[in-house]
Structure 1
Amino acid sequence: MINKRIYFIFLLLVGVLLASCSKDSDEPTTDPTDDQGTEQPTPEPDPEAIDLSAYDNGERVMMQAFYWDVEPRFEWWTNLTGKVAGWSDAGINRIWIPVATKGQSGGYSMGYDVSDYFDFGEFSQHGTIETRFGSRAELEELIQTAHDNDVEVIEDIVINHNSGGGLEYNPYRDKDTYTLFDEEHGNASGMFNRNYEDFYPNSVSNYDPGSLFYAETNLDHNRERVQDWLWKKDNSVAKYYQNVMGFDGWRFDYVLGYEPWVVKAWLDEVGGFSVVELWDGNADVLKNYVEETGSRAFDFASFYKLEEGLDRYEDLNSLTGSQLWQTYPDKSVTFTANHDTEKDSNEDNYIKRENKMKAYAYIMTHPGYPCVFYLDYEDSEFQDELKNLIAIHNSLATGETEVLYVDEDEYIMKRNGTGTNPGLILYISISNSTKRRAVSSNWNNITLMDYSGNSTYNPTSDENGAVTIEAPANGYSIWSITE
């Protein structure tokens, strides 16, 4: 009896062993049937993103490569030299640098109190040889490094007001004014020496055309001598900066301080990329200026619509208001922050941190030439997101623009793409909850994905292109096709 029991147990063990050995090691360990023996469907694979680099639309982004009172002093050019290659790889093709010459404040000057137009950090004056940003040699190294990485360098130009000259009697104001600029008085380079006759009022002009800064040292551009030194002569500011220093273009500071013909005359003489600081939120004022000068302009109209919609009124209907990019997309330089807005104590002149990325999503997907602010890009919480937005801008942000839906807390815009480029759909929401909305796309029977990475939802359009997309709470998404 015992032997039969042992023999039975032995046979049972052999059967179990043979059954386990007969199972292929690659066979799934889960049963593809449910409890009733019904075969279950194979899960759909996740959609694959398209290769954005295959859709290069030729568009790029500018970097404002400074902020107010940059630190450390005397090392800024070297700091930028170490970053420019990485910026180029990210899709940036121009850097806008601060006024590069000696100002009255010497080693503390941000350059806007311009004294010597030809001292790039090589003459001892105003208490320093180097500028706040470094030496001339370091600046030249930055420019060369930028050019080696296919990045243009845009110089900030202050031709409205001067500062840091010596006192002299001014008969047109019947008092002493700081209008004497020579080798001993704030102009050690000896180039473009000037006196009271070069400023308003003088023997040619009896009025100041409305400058709000340094009224007594507001350059008179009607004087032939001033024109010669600023842009006409072979060693003028414009031609020296372009031909000797290697600058590729200009950011004209405070153009409200002089007439538009000055910018046009400069550009007619030397050309180059140009953008003006015309601080006015009226799109028509900006439009008229670019028509009169041929220059690009910072799109302050767009900036204020973003500030109003995201911050001041919390109403995204503002985003459909009049902006320069709507009329002249090739003349609009869009932005969300600059050195002035970030130091301004007026809360209506800057976009709050919590809304910055929504604002960047707007300018990176709409027409215009976006400008990224240094402090935003170098912020560890923003950088990866900004790199992704730049990649989207340089690839999918192309074609006609169409607003699909807008209300107080939702804004949906479509770029129609061109040729084989599919374009995109931007969805911004300032609601406290996730939003979904049905829209009309250009894509039929295609699964979409959010290329911002803010949503994991993957809707599929129908045969007519209708599709429901979503935006995360108080955020944005950017939709396009998948493989």
Structure 2
Amino acid sequence: MFGALFGGASRRDRRDAVLFQGFGWDSCQKGGWYTKLKQQLPELKAAGVTHLWLPPPSHSVSPQGYMPGQLYNLEASKYGGKKELKELTSAAKKQGIACVADVVINHRCADIQENGVYNHYSDDTDHKGRRIDWGRWAITCDDPHFNGSGNRDTGADYAAAPDLDHANPELRAALRDWLHWLQHDIGFEGWRLDFVKGYAPKFVDEYVSSTVGAAALNVGEFWVDMEWQGGELAADQDRARQVLCDWVNANNKSCSAFDFPLKGVLQEAAKRTQYWRLRDARGKAPGLVGWWPEHAVTFVDNHDTGSSQQHWPFPSHLVGVGYAYILTHPGIPCVFYEHFFDWGEELRGTIKGLLEVRRRAGIKAGARLDIRAAEADFYFAVVDGRVAVKLGPRLDMGPHLPRAEDGWQQVAAGTEFCVWEKKK
């Protein structure tokens, strides 16, 4: 019954998905966020969005939601209450858009101290009326700050909050039950998993497989380190993308990954006029998308890299270059809320136009990419024989210029990018 109610949108072919991040870092401060997003759904549907990534829904010590405490308490969220959230997921489903929840389960903030350390939980009640009264046993024993007594951590430490012991069957059962509730009662159809390097990928597979399934659009935030040579990004980033390939393989391909290596290479190429970076030594695209595009979620910026945090932002005057690349190339593209709604009509129009090109040309995650030039000031590629993309400041394209007599028509252009579409 639940699959019939909530499974529709997620059953579409994930390979033609367009993900939209429906919030920025400060969206929690603006009030009524779920209601605002609900009002914007028709425009997102018209633009071609298929999946809507929503912020962490639960009570949190931090207003953004990334320090969760009471998992079942949706009323304390700064984005809106349970009623507004269910109205949003229901309205999105009617528009054919699947809602993806930001799931923060690597860590959980406790509410009771022991010897001056917060490591006891007795503040939450699940959907069956049972108390979630975890103690030190739920926290990894090697957490350096919170005096846990559970098993050793299966991933990296998260210093700001107690690391949960995913090796404990009781704890995993409780998390699976919570995810089932988010899926079947609240209406989520996919997961964006926060800080997945914090616990073993086999648990990612368990959580996904027991709920929405691998056919849904699930994506993990594995912020992998890149290789640098002094202040210069190294040309070879194979280690970084191999880490992501290994992680996707280890989670049994149930969860894709954000393509952080591609973001790093793409923004360095644009910022430093080094478009040669966009073709690797084997003639493929950089990043995870060059090796495994069906599991690469590509993006220009998100709430961490851009927004008000600015941890690793794309050059602002060349954001159009970023979208010209990810919306015409292989991979599963993710559009950022602030770029679409807050950066002005010109950029919004550019993104809409590029999404329309992607739709008309039928570009999917595994599209065929033919990179014909990748030089310092000039990049040119043809995707599926239908879409041609030029990046870089060079104006003279020489023999690469798509010609009208060959059926090519210019459909988008901006600072350092131009896109053509071949008529059928």
Output the amino acid matched with 2:337: Y
Equivalence for 1:366: 329
Residue 345 of structure 1 and its aligned partner are, at CA, apart by 6.2
**Which of 96, 109, 113 does residue 167 from structure 1 map onto?**
113
Equivalence for 1:475: 416
The answer to whether the 8 Å contact 1:60/1:393 transfers is no
Taking structure 1 as reference, are residues 184 and 120 closer, same or farther at Cα in structure 2, changes over 3 Å only?
closer
User: Quick check: 1:393 aligned with 2:358?
Assistant: yes
**Which of 126, 132, 137 does residue 192 from structure 1 map onto?**
132
Mapping for residues 244-263 of structure 1, pairs under 5 Å: 244-263=185-204
The answer to whether the 8 Å contact 2:378/2:392 transfers is yes
Residue 481 of structure 1 and its aligned partner are, at CA, apart by 2.8
Q: Secondary structure at the match of 1:112?
A: coil
User: Quick check: 1:265 aligned with 2:174?
Assistant: no
Residue 480 of structure 1 and its aligned partner are, at CA, apart by 2.4
Residue 246 of structure 1 and its aligned partner are, at CA, apart by 1.0
The answer to whether the 8 Å contact 1:74/1:135 transfers is no
Output the amino acid matched with 1:275: V
Output the amino acid matched with 2:397: R
**Which of 213, 223, 229 does residue 159 from structure 2 map onto?**
213
TM-score of the pair, normalised by structure 1: 0.73
Taking structure 1 as reference, are residues 58 and 267 closer, same or farther at Cα in structure 2, changes over 3 Å only?
closer
User: Quick check: 1:411 aligned with 2:357?
Assistant: no
**Which of 222, 228, 236 does residue 167 from structure 2 map onto?**
222
User: Quick check: 1:320 aligned with 2:279?
Assistant: yes
Output the amino acid matched with 2:245: K
Taking structure 1 as reference, are residues 334 and 208 closer, same or farther at Cα in structure 2, changes over 3 Å only?
closer
Task: Look at both structures and tell me which one has the larger radius of gyration over its CA atoms.
Answer: 1
Equivalence for 1:100: 57
The answer to whether the 8 Å contact 2:35/2:88 transfers is yes
User: More displaced, 296-305 or 70-79?
Assistant: 70-79
The answer to whether the 8 Å contact 2:138/2:150 transfers is no
Equivalence for 1:446: 406
Equivalence for 1:16: none
Mapping for residues 287-306 of structure 1, pairs under 5 Å: 287-293=245-251, 294=253, 295-306=255-266
CA distance in 1, matches of 2:202, 2:302: 26
CA distance in 2, matches of 1:343, 1:254: 19
CA distance in 1, matches of 2:407, 2:270: 30
The answer to whether the 8 Å contact 2:273/2:392 transfers is no
Structure 2: tracts of 5 or more residues without a match: 1-13, 142-147, 227-239, 281-285
Residue 262 of structure 1 and its aligned partner are, at CA, apart by 1.1
Residue 479 of structure 1 and its aligned partner are, at CA, apart by 1.6
Equivalence for 1:275: 219
CA distance in 2, matches of 1:371, 1:161: 25
Residue 93 of structure 1 and its aligned partner are, at CA, apart by 0.6
Output the amino acid matched with 2:182: Y
User: More displaced, 59-68 or 91-100?
Assistant: 59-68
The answer to whether the 8 Å contact 1:60/1:394 transfers is no
Equivalence for 1:37: none
Residue 194 of structure 1 and its aligned partner are, at CA, apart by 1.2
The answer to whether the 8 Å contact 2:106/2:196 transfers is yes
User: Quick check: 1:402 aligned with 2:346?
Assistant: no
User: More displaced, 290-299 or 198-207?
Assistant: 198-207
User: Quick check: 1:178 aligned with 2:118?
Assistant: yes
Residue 72 of structure 1 and its aligned partner are, at CA, apart by 4.8
Equivalence for 1:155: 101
The answer to whether the 8 Å contact 1:424/1:478 transfers is yes
Q: Secondary structure at the match of 2:74?
A: coil
Taking structure 1 as reference, are residues 203 and 448 closer, same or farther at Cα in structure 2, changes over 3 Å only?
closer
CA distance in 1, matches of 2:150, 2:408: 66
Equivalence for 2:388: 425
**Which of 92, 107, 124 does residue 146 from structure 1 map onto?**
92
Structure 1: tracts of 5 or more residues without a match: 1-56, 122-129, 169-174, 418-422, 455-471
Q: Alignment identity in percent?
A: 24
Residue 314 of structure 1 and its aligned partner are, at CA, apart by 2.3
TM-score of the pair, normalised by structure 2: 0.82
- How many equivalent residue pairs? 375
CA distance in 2, matches of 1:77, 1:444: 46
**Which of 108, 114, 139 does residue 68 from structure 2 map onto?**
114
The answer to whether the 8 Å contact 2:289/2:331 transfers is yes
Equivalence for 2:81: 135
Residue 210 of structure 1 and its aligned partner are, at CA, apart by 2.8
